Amino acid sequence: MYLALYRKYRPVTFDDVISQEHITTTLKNQISTGQIAHAYLFTGTRGTGKTSCAKIMAKAVNCLSPKNGSPCGECASCKAIEEGSTDIIEIDAASNNGVDNIRQIRDEVIYTPIDCKYKVYIIDEVHMLSAGAFNALLKTLEEPPSHVIFILATTEYYKVPATILSRCQQFLFSKIDSVQSANRLLEIAQKEELTLEPEAAELIARLSDGAMRDALSLLDQCVSVSRNIDEELVRQCSGAAESEYLFAVSRAALDKNPAAALKVLDGLIVKGKDISRFIEELTAHYRNLMLEKTVGEELIKASDSELSQYRSQCGEYSVREIMRHIDLISDSLDNINRMKQTGQARLLAEQLLIRLTSPKLANDASALASRIEALENRLDSLALGEGSVIKPNKASDRDGSYAQTGKKPADNAEKQAETLLNGKTDQADTARTVSMENAKDKANMPTEGTDSSPAKEGQVYYAHQSETKTGHILAAYEDEIPLPPPPPEEAFDGGYGYADEIPRAVPFKSKTDGGNEKPAVKQSLSEAAEKSKAKSASNDTSNDTGIKSDKAEIKAKTDRSIPEIDFALPQNVGPLPQWQEIISGMAVRIRGLLKSSQAYLYDGKIYISATASSENVLKDGTKAEALRQRVKDVLGGEMEMFVLKAAPAVQTEQADLISPFLEKAKALGVNVTVK
């Protein structure tokens, strides 16, 4: 009769047990010193060696000449136990869980052993005993005869009453390490003269989830098909999906492509893959994505090619999206397992994949936050996109002239755009029917004797076509619409260049004029540039050459300081991961001052949320230049850096998600219909 591999290669000594050194060492020492307890409780998941250690323990305590705490296997006592001694009693508590069964044990323990020194009772799955049976066992378990040892084993120790736990020495068996499990499989394959590829052994170890018995059972199943076992054969016998299918599903979720995900599921079903197994592996797949995104590859057990794919996809996922997908899969897994017998598992799996790839169907807080973020990006595109907005002028250059075209927009164009925003005259209705290109041309029309200032971010003039005369309606967001490009440089207050010569932007002040609020005009950049040149000329005419030299040196330092900017980052922008690595390479004092600061990477530029103590570092030209060089060393290239006036707001799940979006739309003069 064929003997299964897990029975044929069951450990016979403590040294044969893998991944449980913390237990086997203790048991061997107790046997060597003779300090043997009267009751033991072995707990842990399935296939981790609980019953094997119990049998080895029963043999070792009765061995006439133990070797380093393990049974010799050659003495009369060991041979008697191997042949089935009546002094070693194994009881399955799942089928012998009544009070009468325990009373029988209580009546028998008074008799001395026949072949051995100790009578050993091994009660497997002890948590299945009834309450009355536990109560009947209490007194015997607490004070058994000197020739009796109890070894209890269970996978659910929390179901065992505390009165039983307190009477036993407890040993918690851990899951089998996947590396040790794979090595053990290779050893057994060599003894059985099988061809087992290392990749296949690693896959079996991962699929068994720390249970050595499950691993050997799967190997036994593969041997029934072929004695040459590769990774493909293991997947075929286990019903496991290939990693390519898992990455294809997560890619479909990124692309919001339900059809692609459903095709993957259909292909797996045609090949006979188990749906529940596929969903379990999808859960493990998203777990790996979560770990890669948060802590790196240290805890991920995968091949090099799979790790490369995890790194690639994590760059496109946010942690919030990964968490949402894990929640959806976990909620669906129980239903799929329950509906397997009714034939509805496929329907539930298809429903799950559609939800993963269609965020608009979800109504949880994280999904709503993602959708509102996309709406805000579209709104920014409408406000800053080319052809749909009368753009503000770019910052002036060093000569005081306008950097891009050398022309100033006409006053009548500003008034017309303001009329469009307020929607209070008949001209607004006419302007809405004008094409976007005409609106752009009017914005750039030069007029003599007029002056204008760049508009503050968020105070742009909207001129967009619409079929309605009552206002602009933003349709409900659809996932198929692509996200807008990032805002251009001129959208930021103050611009990016020559921060030392451009004055701080004056905040808008509103005044009531006939019920209409109009933005106050900023200081002309041309005037600021002229003042800056005059100041420079005054410094150059100084009679004291020493003073001129000092001022030149100070100016050379401050020219390279990091400019301060009033720019609200989007709430989904995460901190720059390498920031602590960057400042760790700075001087001790600078590192201490910058330690409480935080940096964010957005649109290819670094924004630093500085504290009061670190602002002086960033304003010092020499220190700022050292920081730029450190950023270049760590990130591999030069990056523009800015100091934020205020730290980015933190979005919580309890926060109002829709109000900020509606307020932003209202400031642009856009009526939003929320569906």
pLDDT tens, position by position, 269-310 = 888 788 888 888 898 899 989 988 888 877 887 777 788 888
Q: What is the pLDDT of residue 219?
A: 92
Question: Per-residue confidence at 495, pLDDT binned at 50, 70, 90?
Answer: very low
CA-based torsion, 341, 347, 349, 352: positive or negative: negative
pLDDT in the model for residue 581: 82
Q: What is the rounded average pLDDT of the residues 135-147?
A: 91
Which pTM does this prediction carry? 0.51
Q: Taking the CA atoms of the chain, what radius of gyration do you get in angstroms?
A: 37
What are the residue ranges of CATH 3.40.50.300 in the chain? 5-174
- Mean pLDDT lowest among 45-59, 188-202, 490-504: 490-504
Residue 413 has pLDDT above 80, yes or no: no
606 forms bridges with which residues in the sheet?
Answer: 601, 641
Confidence of residue 650 (pLDDT cuts 50, 70, 90): low
pLDDT of 447-486, one tens digit each? Answer: 444 444 443 333 333 333 333 333 333 333 334 444 445 4
Instruction: Supply the pLDDT for residue 366.
Output: 65
Instruction: In whole angstroms, give the CA distance from residue 168 to residue 386.
Output: 76
User: Which of 365-369, 396-400, 587-591, 664-668 is most confident?
Assistant: 587-591
Mutual angle of helices 345-357 and 275-294, in 10-degree steps: 30
Q: Is the dihedral of CA 250, 256, 262, 267 positive or negative?
A: negative
- What's the pLDDT score for residue 569? 78
Q: What is the pLDDT of residues 525-571, one digit of tens each?
A: 445 455 555 555 555 544 444 444 555 555 555 567 888 887 777 76
109 Cβ partners below 8 Å, 6+ apart? Answer: 119, 121, 140, 144, 145, 148
Mean pLDDT of the chain: 74
Q: What share of the chain is helix, strand, coil (3-state, %, to 5)?
A: 50, 10, 40
- Kindly tell me the sign of the dihedral angle through the C-alpha atoms of 358, 363, 367, 372: positive
Task: Answer whether residue 21 shows pLDDT above 70.
Answer: yes
pLDDT grade, residue 390 (50/70/90)? very low
Q: Give the model's pLDDT for residue 637.
A: 80
- Which amino acid makes up residue 316? E
Top mean-pLDDT range of 32-46, 263-277, 618-632: 32-46
CA diameter of the chain:
118
**Per CATH, is 243-362 categorized as 2.30.110.10?**
no
Task: Count helices and strands (H / E) in the chain.
Answer: 28, 17
C-beta of residue 596 within 8 angstroms of C-beta of residue 614: yes
Where do you find CATH 1.20.272.10 in the chain? 243-362
How do residues 93-132 score in pLDDT, each as one tens digit?
Answer: 988 889 999 999 999 999 999 888 999 999 999 999 999 9
pLDDT at residue number 189: 92
652, 456 Cβ separation under 8 angstroms: no
> What's the confidence (pLDDT) of residue 643?
87
SS3 category, 133 = helix
The answer to whether 644 and 607 have CB atoms below 8 angstroms apart is: yes
**Which stretch of 1-15, 156-170, 373-387, 621-635 has the lowest confidence by average pLDDT?**
373-387
The mean-pLDDT minimum among 173-182, 349-358, 617-626 falls in 617-626
pLDDT, mean of residues 571-590: 81
Higher-pLDDT residue of 273, 45? 45
What is the number of other CB atoms lying within 10 angstroms of the CB of residue 239? Answer: 17
- Indicate the pLDDT class of residue 262, thresholds 50, 70 and 90: very high
Residue 641: pLDDT band with limits 50, 70, 90 = confident
For residue 239, the SS3 value is: coil
Of the candidates 208, 275, 224, 214, the residue with the CA atom closest to the CA atom of residue 245? 275
Residue 395 has pLDDT above 50, yes or no: no
Confidence check: pLDDT of 327 > 90: no
Q: How confident is the model at residue 362, as a pLDDT?
A: 67
Q: What is the mean pLDDT of residues 201-221?
A: 90
pLDDT at 25 exceeding the cut of 70: yes
Cβ atoms of residues 521 and 508 within 8 Å: no
Show the 3-state SS of 347-359: HHHHHHHHHHHCH
- First-to-last alpha carbon distance for the chain, in angstroms, is 69
What is the average pLDDT across 229-257? 85
Q: Which residue has the higher pLDDT, 475 or 61?
A: 61
φ and ψ at 172, to 5 degrees?
-95, 115
Q: Find out whether 138 and 164 touch, Cβ atoms under 8 Å.
A: yes
Looking at the chain, the whole-number percentage of residues with pLDDT higher than 70 is: 69
Taking the C-alpha atoms of residue 126 and residue 118, their distance in angstroms, rounded to an integer, is 21
Structure-block tokens of residue 126: 């002890």
pLDDT at 612: 72
d(CA 300, CA 288): 6
13, 123 in Cβ contact below 8 A? no
Distance CA 290, CA 524 (A): 50
Higher pLDDT, 533 or 333: 333
Could you say which architecture CATH assigns to the domain 5-174? 3-Layer(aba) Sandwich (3.40)
What is the rounded CA–CA span in Å between residue 639 and residue 602?
11
Residues 172-189: pLDDT tens digits? 999 998 889 999 999 999
What backbone torsions phi and psi does residue 476 show, to the nearest 5 degrees?
-60, 140
Q: Which residues contact 453 (CB under 8 A, 6 or more apart)?
A: 393, 521, 522, 523, 524, 525
Could you give the CA distance from residue 640 to residue 659 in angstroms, rounded to a whole number?
A: 32
Q: Check whether 225 has a pLDDT greater than 60.
A: yes
Helices (H), 11-63: 21-33, 50-62
Highest mean pLDDT among 400-409, 541-550, 553-562, 582-591: 582-591
3-state secondary structure of 539: helix
Burial of 476 (0-12, 13-18, 19+ CB in 10 A): exposed
| Helix, strand, or coil (residue 516) | strand
Q: Which helix (H) or strand (E) holds 165?
A: helix 162-165
Task: Report pLDDT for 241.
Answer: 67
Residue 585 confidence (pLDDT) above 70:
yes
**pLDDT-wise least confident of 292-296, 517-521, 584-588:** 517-521
- DSSP track, 192-233: TT-EE-HHHHHHHHHHHTT-HHHHHHHHHHHHHH-SEE-HHH
Collect contacts of 221-224 with beta carbons under 8 A, ≥24 apart: 223/5, 223/192, 223/194
